[in-house]
Structure 1
Amino acid sequence: MTGMPRSGTTWLSRLLATAPGTALTGREPMNPRERQWALAGSLDGWTRLRDPNGKQARALRRAYRGLAPGVYSSFGFRQWRGPLPNSRLIVKDPFAMLSMPAIHTITGARPVLVYRHPGAMLVSYRRMGWAPDVAELRPHRRGVHPSRRPDGRSDPAVAGRRRCGQRSRHGLVLVGALCDRRR
């Protein structure tokens, strides 16, 4: 189960874990923050695994089979069932979003991508008192500048050069943090 933070991955994971024969790990195996597992200590930030090394592949297999104690926490549900045969283990991890093809190849897991409207996610961030750290994702941008459209021309809507409430070329009405309030 993956998706952007605050997109509903926890809610949907907990809902799915109420089905018979399921378990939810509780920790995010690829989360490098604080006391999380960070793929057995092999990660230090958001990662796009394309060709995991041996340690990472073993850690992924253990985590997705329920054999890694580091992925269990008080946020899980029916964790005792995780490593049992014929159990479905639900692994919730927003940090796995960029690595789903490699995770599927190594573990055979069926990825579920949760999508939530970006505006609703930002409202949720504000409610939690969080601020998105865009710098974390910079290494994964593939050379696209946030104020440029795919054709290379400047996009004033993204660059924040339009006034609040003014409609962009794409029909987006800018509100909140995206507005340039100085005009």
Structure 2
Amino acid sequence: MRKPVLSMFMSLDGYVAGPDGEFLPPEWSADVETYWSGYALTRAGHLLYGRVNFLFNKAFWAAAETDPTSPAAGVSYAGTMNRLPKTVFSTTLAGDPGWNASLAGRDLAGAVAGLKAGGGGDLLLFGGALLARSFVAADLPDEYRLMVTPNLLGAGQRLFEPGFARLELELTESRALDTGAVILHYHRKRS
């Protein structure tokens, strides 16, 4: 059975996006490509997105298929990003979202249960602070893979907001990267 993995980067003070939801990427390096993106994409069987993050990623990665001068075309795993099936959790998108994606509505638990039962590889959720917080509140991730970046943002959208039930996790891996970021990999302890 597939496992849902929450895979996100955040600042040391816990922010995953700027105050207006702006994307704040980590410093890039060979370590980040190998131990962050490469690790995740070799295990991913399906990508999970919120609407905003989906539209952002679709615009970036899909260009690799039609524009050899696009920034995405030079990324070694662009083909994987375009090939993997995707589910978008949105109540505002309608019709076929394209980019090998399908839509899911408000029933997070039901959609995840259905996705866990089919296919192979991890269900990788790596974008959208609101969707990530909804997944945490519903206790859906079986794993948390977080990259903590060496900066303090002071404001923005946090990954973990007050109000969800206590969750017990077990650290299974930690890795310092050449950028000063640290990857923390936790498994959800379930009784």
What is the TM-score of this pair, normalised by structure 1? 0.33
What is the TM-score of this pair, normalised by structure 2? 0.32
Q: Which has the higher strand share?
A: 2
Larger Rg: 1
**Which structure's relative contact order is higher, taking Cα pairs within 8 Å and 6+ residues apart?**
2
Q: Which has the higher helix share?
A: 1
